[in-house]
Chains A and B, each alone.
Chain A
Amino acid sequence: MSVLLIVEHNNKEVKPFTFNAISAASQINEDVNVLVLGYNSDTVAKSISECPNVKKVIHINNELYENYLAENYSSVIIKLSEGYSHIICSANTFGKNLMPRIAALLDVSQVSDITKVISEDTFIRPIYAGNAFATVKSNDKIKCITIRPTSFDPAPSSGGSAEIQNGEPGDATELSKFIKKEEIKSDRPELGTARVVVSGGRGMQSGENFKLITAVADKLNAAIGASRAAVDAGYITNDHQVGQTGKVVVPDLYIAVGISGAIQHLAGMKESKVIVAINKDGEAPIFSVADYGLEADLFDALPKFLEELNKLNTIQK
């Protein structure tokens, strides 16, 4: 009974969601082994070995793994899978791409995107875009599981010193090759993955007034969101739209400004960890989901909010 967790990294550093997955893995079984497949990736193996939840690091350093290709990754993981009861990674585009390929090769019915561990074989996972939650029990000998990272706190990244074991690469496949990666370089984080989102609704009254939102977002290193009403009114482009027909966001902090809280909008942000609503209508539905509600005129509140933020010594990024 041990867990094999696949580390996501870029050969230099461990991607943060890996630590969330590690903490879920520890809830399943404490014997967490992690696999680093990479090239010139010693710093990655070293750094993940310092996570106190990790009992062993398997490091396979080979040119084959310079870039992440599911075809190459899966063939070597299959070889290593023997003796493990669970194979785990995070349910982001990395894990979603990789895990089913492993599961099918092991003839396992995968459990995707779990948000809670009930026991070593029973989990809760969202279905229908989070509009329902299913409790499911896996009956396969090896369990292939992806973890919704935002549902688990990250494991600590230091304090441990797990053994690092070197492993042998698998066969090369000629099926696919990596060409390039274009990281979106924007000063502002992307709406879908930002830690903080500041959204404006029709209460903003004009596109021009969105500069109040922008100022707060700059300060908090936040993405800018909008309700459909604000998009329809032409205040902002529709790639900022949060909601059922826009983006679904799950940030640590969601600040809804001048948004009444149409259910379609709530559907797109209600899973956020902390929700703040600023609205002058105290009866607005948005307050029913807000952890902190401020009943105020946003044109007074936003500049004051910025002022208060400026007074703080440190702000989390």
Chain B
Amino acid sequence: MSKETMEYDVVIVGGGPSGLSTAIKLKQLDSNLNVCLLEKASEIGAHILSGNVFETRALDELIPNWKELNSPIKTRVSKEKFLFLSKSKSFSWPTWLLPSVQQNHNNYIISLANLCRWLAEQAEKLGVEIFPGFPASEILYNEDGSVRGVATQDMGIDKEGNKKESFEPGIELLGKVTVFAEGCRGHLGKQLIRKFELDKGKDPQQYGIGFKEIWEIDEKNYEEGLVMHTAGWPLDNNTYGGSFMYHAENKQVFLGYVIGLDYKNPHLSPFDEFQRFKTHPAIKKIIEGGKRISYGARALIEGGYQSLPKMFMPGALLIGCDAGTLNMPKIKGSHTAMKSGIIAAETINEHLNSQKELSTFEEKFKNSWLYEELFKARNVKPSFSWGLILGIIFTGIDQILFRGKLPFTLKHKHADHETLKPANEMPKIEYPKPDNIITFDKTSSVYLTGTNHTDNQPVHLQLKDPNLPISYTLDKFDEPAQRYCPAGVYEIQKENNVNKFVINSQNCIHCKTCDIKEPSQNINWVTPEGGGGPKYGNM
């Protein structure tokens, strides 16, 4: 049965900062364009998770009068701290010795989810058609191989793949240009990169997993506008990562942890590292007496300039972190994602109205501050492959003395799924039991995400080889999916004394870590039925 089709000038996949910026800019440039935007979450913002200390540069360009439009950008950064943690002590690093990219006094502490909701309102006012709850599940191509649009997921399919009574077929959305803005490790973006060899000549992409909890804390520990980062404990010198703690409005603190997915020890559990981190005296004293109200996790881009794929292809553009525009040393990706969206809109407008090629994106990008930013930042992350100490020393030289202008580019050598060492060669890690006050187990954490996937639908975490987890990965790596998944989706269960790999797909919070870190790339994350996944509030 052929699907119903709907035609647009521009189809945008993903309602995050880059896709929404593209939509807004397009309508600003030409209000006659027909623009639609698809979002897999049940509403805009429900799958957005980010720190977030926001630099307004791109927003200033996009909506210069944002201050007058009741935007959710309110808490100006008032104070900054950077701490090195040892097991029980903390050492404050003077802020004047921080590279300028890590100085935040002009920035704001925001909820990116709320910013996206607000951007969506602006876009709708301009006439953009936004469809939450509709994942784009498939790329459509023209006969000449160019991108023709996307198809949305069929709804009402049971777990065996049969149509249920409520079956509702997907729709083909055809665009003169399709913009892919799915965020880090988008499942269509991944296909495009492969098909059009967009990453040819680039280093393998690097990722991290970021956790975030929102705490409502005691008045006496609360300092609105305070931004604090830490490095060091509980991670060892060889594992890349660190924490953030932002004192946002209403006595809320955004507390998070990021760990590079190039870690080597399969026994490492990013979730438990984060939980353990909170027991450090310097952290515990702030959240003690408070209450955790939200939890979530999401993979993020760390590869930067060296790993950034080509962002244009026939009929389509790949933007934001679907390509990988995050600035790692700045720990910020929202303003860069937005800027890539603005450039995309400018490119598309000229393409549709003046017949210019989409490849002009490249030139516009190279002439933008976005390119300059990413170029200057390029050597920071790879230098940490030498360990935390050398990484910091190098970063000091690179970022403070040379301001990113050293005449060479360090390489990312391995993809993250290649870095795990066999389990028997690496030390086991004993994590403390949760106390249910400061630290929690995965189940009660996942409950806070509000995630759900309708019963009786196909499992959206597909195994290329269903036997591999038990026959190979369990033996060699002690099946690390049990630990890297921040939502407890993967379990090894003994059934009549036979090991079985269990996928609790209803728990999935769409972070994509499994798709990235699985050592044999055996797990393929695909879109579940629309509206499934977490229901984040102000994450």
Contact = CB atoms under 8 A, between A and B. Distances in A.
Contacts of B504: 229, 232
B430 to A, nearest CB: 14
A206 B443 contact: no
Interface of A: 202, 205-206, 228-229, 232-233, 238, 245, 260-264, 283, 285, 288
Contacts of B441: 285
Contacts of A285: 441, 443-444
B538 to A, nearest CB: 20
**Prevailing SS type, chain B contact patch:** mixed
Given A232-B504, A245-B452, A263 B444 contact: yes
Contact of A205 (B433, B443, B444, B496): B496
A283 B442 CA distance: 13
Interface string B377-402: 00000000000000000000000000
Given A263-B443, A283-B433, A285-B441, A205 B495 contact: yes
Nearest to A205: B495
A205 B494 contact: yes
Contact of B493 (A202, A245, A283, A288): A202
A285 B441 CA distance: 9
A206 B493 CA distance: 11
B447 A263 contact: yes
A262 B443 contact: yes
B283 to A, nearest CB: 24
A229 B507 CA distance: 11
24 contacts: A202-B493, A202-B502, A205-B493, A205-B494, A205-B495, A205-B496, A206-B495, A206-B496, A229-B504, A232-B504, A232-B506, A233-B502, A238-B455, A245-B452, A260-B443, A262-B443, A262-B447, A263-B443, A263-B444, A263-B447, A264-B447, A283-B433, A285-B441, A288-B436
Interface residues of B, number: 15
Nearest to A246: B455
Given A202-B502, A262-B447, 11 more contacts: A205-B493, A205-B494, A205-B496, A232-B506, A245-B455, A263-B443, A263-B444, A263-B447, A283-B433, A285-B443, A285-B444
A263 B436 CA distance: 13
A245 B303 CA distance: 40
Contacts of B444: 263, 285
A126 to B, nearest CB: 19
Interface in B492-518: 493-496, 502, 504, 506
Nearest to A208: B496
Contacts of A245: 452, 455
Nearest to A238: B455
B103 to A, nearest CB: 41
A232 B454 CA distance: 12
Contacts of A205: 493-496
A261 B444 CA distance: 10
Interface string B431-456: 00100100001011001000010010
Contacts of A264: 447
Contacts of B452: 245
The 5 closest A-B pairs by CB, nearest first: A263-B447, A205-B495, A262-B443, A263-B444, A263-B443
Contacts of B447: 262-264
Nearest to A233: B502
Contacts of A263: 443-444, 447
Nearest to A203: B493
A216 B493 CA distance: 25
A264 B504 CA distance: 13
Contacts of B506: 228, 232
A202 B494 CA distance: 10
Nearest to A283: B433
A261 B433 CA distance: 16
A299 to B, nearest CB: 10
A260 B436 CA distance: 16
A206 B500 CA distance: 12
B406 to A, nearest CB: 50
Contacts of A202: 493, 502
Nearest to A267: B447
A264 B436 CA distance: 16
Contacts of A262: 443, 447
Residue among A206, A238, A260, A263 with the highest chain B CB neighbour number at 10 A = A263
A153 to B, nearest CB: 32
A151 B33 CA distance: 61
Nearest to B456: A238
A260 B493 CA distance: 12
Nearest to A264: B447
Contacts of B443: 260-263, 285
A208 to B, nearest CB: 9
Nearest to A229: B504
Nearest to A260: B443
Contacts of B502: 202, 233
Of B433, B443, B506, which is in contact with the most chain A CB atoms at under 10 Å from its CB?
B443
A310 B239 CA distance: 58
B526 to A, nearest CB: 19
Nearest to B444: A263
A233 B444 CA distance: 21
Interface string B147-191: 000000000000000000000000000000000000000000000
B104 to A, nearest CB: 36
Interface in B453-491: 455
A124 to B, nearest CB: 22
Nearest to A228: B506
A202 B502 CA distance: 11
Contacts of A206: 495-496
Contacts of A233: 502
A57 B436 CA distance: 52
A263 B451 CA distance: 13
B269 to A, nearest CB: 15
A241 to B, nearest CB: 9
A283 B452 CA distance: 25
A38 B444 CA distance: 50
Interface string B129-157: 00000000000000000000000000000
B364 to A, nearest CB: 48
Interface in B53-83: none
A229 B503 CA distance: 10
A216 to B, nearest CB: 20
Nearest to B502: A233
